[in-house]
Amino acid sequence: MHKIITFFVILLFCCSCSKAEQPTDSTGLGQNAGTITTFSPDKLCNPQADAATQKVYSILCQLYGSHIISGTVANVDWNTREAENVKSWTGKYPALNAFDFINFHSSKDVNAKGWLDYADISPVKRWWNEGGLVSCMWHWQVLANNGTDYTCSPGNGDKETSINLNDIDNPSSSTYKQLIKDMDQIAGYLGKLQAAGIPVIWRPLHEAAGNTYEFDGGRAWFWWGAKGAEPFKKLWRLMYDRFTRVHHLNNLIWVWTSQTADESWYPGDDVVDIVGRDRYGLLQYPAMKDFKNLTSAYPHKLITLAECGNGDSNDIAPLGKIWDKGAHFSWFMTWYDYDYNNGKGADHRFAGAAWWKDAFSHDYVVTRDEMKSLLQAE
């Protein structure tokens, strides 16, 4: 059981992390001796970021190197079911919950036959009000080649998409117009969160490079990476510009997800706040290697384990072993198990009770009650 920690008032520096200032442990969580990372973070890439968003980023910077924030992802879309699993197993909630806009075409505000409502932000608002950090991602589904289904997968099959991202330079193309339409819909939901005072750790267009660099014949498995690095970077910058300059979304912390060895895909320091890595079946030595490589490539960015869990060949190592090898990620986020959440499996596919109990046995793992105290500190 995680020990009860008395929180001190957090000393937020300038409400945002500024370059050349070294974070010290003023969180009141207690230092994990010998693990403070020498780190000089960039400021948020959006100079208009609101005060609440700057505060969240400052907390992330303050904790970096001495603590790791625990996180889960919604069971498909707009809920906290995985976080509830963790609570039932451990008695504590994870500090972060991620929500996915994957089914945005089926939202009731745009589809009369829709089965969920992204315009109803109450699940997200409730999580934030209870002291949890909010992250959002977007499995951006576009119309498949068969004209009826939606998909993220590139290709020429019926249930794949042949969307041509090379048309991103042509505002009169059908591709460009559809991209703008979809982005504007998502911006509307993010705008509702901004109006409610909710900062969002925003992780779009993840895993763009796929396994392109892992072996011969590797490829991107999402359409936003299928045409290569340059069209992808243009799409990222188009989204950043659309969200910040057109929709004036100043509540976003921008997370780019690396596949490692994909520096040519990096959109740029001016449009990225945090660099993430998605890893399944992660063992402690590969974790150490990933963390070392990413901190070397992006020395002024927080590095996070943006997705994790058991893999096809290996189970994820206990968090303590990953941490002890020096992989001091900003946060981790375990993936959801749809079958388990619907009563079809006895054991969780990606991270079950034993893994989470071990994680919360370490004092450097931040839970929601602890995050709430940090967020409420003046």
Question: Which whole number is the average pLDDT over 39-58?
Answer: 93
| Domain membership flag for residue 12 | no
Share above pLDDT 70 across residues of the chain, in percent, rounded to a whole number: 89
pLDDT at 260: 80
Task: Name the more confident of 141 and 5.
Answer: 141
Residue 22 counted as domain residue:
no
Is the pLDDT at 217 greater than 50, yes or no?
yes
pLDDT averaged over the chain?
90
Q: Is the pLDDT of residue 17 over 70?
A: no
For residue 20, pLDDT beyond 60: no
Given a cut of 80, whether residue 362 has pLDDT beyond it is yes
Q: pLDDT category, 261, cuts 50, 70, 90?
A: confident
- Compute CA distances 238 → 82, 168, 179, 185, 231, whole Å: 32, 9, 10, 15, 10
For range 150-160, the mean pLDDT: 94
Q: Summarize the confidence of residues 252-270 as an average pLDDT.
A: 95
The whole domain housing 359 covers 51-376
Where does the pLDDT of residue 6 fall: very low under 50, low under 70, confident under 90, or very high at 90 and above?
very low
Residue 12 scores a pLDDT above 70: no
In a domain, 346, yes or no: yes
| CATH code of the domain covering residue 133 | 3.20.20.80
Q: Which of 30-39, 75-84, 157-166, 203-212 has the lowest mean pLDDT?
A: 30-39
Mean pLDDT of 161-174: 94
User: What is the per-residue pLDDT for 213?
Assistant: 79
- Position 1 scores a pLDDT of 37
**pLDDT (0 to 100) of residue 269:** 97
Least confident of 22-26, 180-184, 362-366: 22-26
pLDDT of residue 243: 98
**Mean pLDDT over residues 333-361, rounded?**
93
pLDDT reported for residue 77: 86
Q: Is the pLDDT of residue 56 over 60?
A: yes
Residue 236 pLDDT class (50, 70, 90 cuts): very high
Q: Is 330 domain-assigned?
A: yes
Q: Tell me the catalytic residues.
A: 207, 307
Q: Would residue 35 count as lying in a domain?
A: no
Residue 152 lies in a domain: yes
pLDDT for 216 equals: 66
Which pLDDT value is given to residue 27?
62
Reported as a pLDDT band with limits 50, 70 and 90, residue 33 is: very low
pLDDT surpassing 80 at residue 3: no
Segment 142-157 mean pLDDT: 95
Q: pLDDT tens, 295-322?
A: 999 999 999 999 999 999 899 999 999 9
Q: Is residue 347 part of a domain?
A: yes
Torsion (CA) 45, 334, 364, 131 in degrees, nearest 10: 70
Mean of the pLDDT values across residues 323-349? 93
How many domains is the chain built from?
1
Band (30; pLDDT cuts 50, 70, 90): low
Model confidence at 38, pLDDT cuts 50, 70, 90, reads: low
* Banded model confidence at residue 267, pLDDT cuts 50, 70, 90: very high
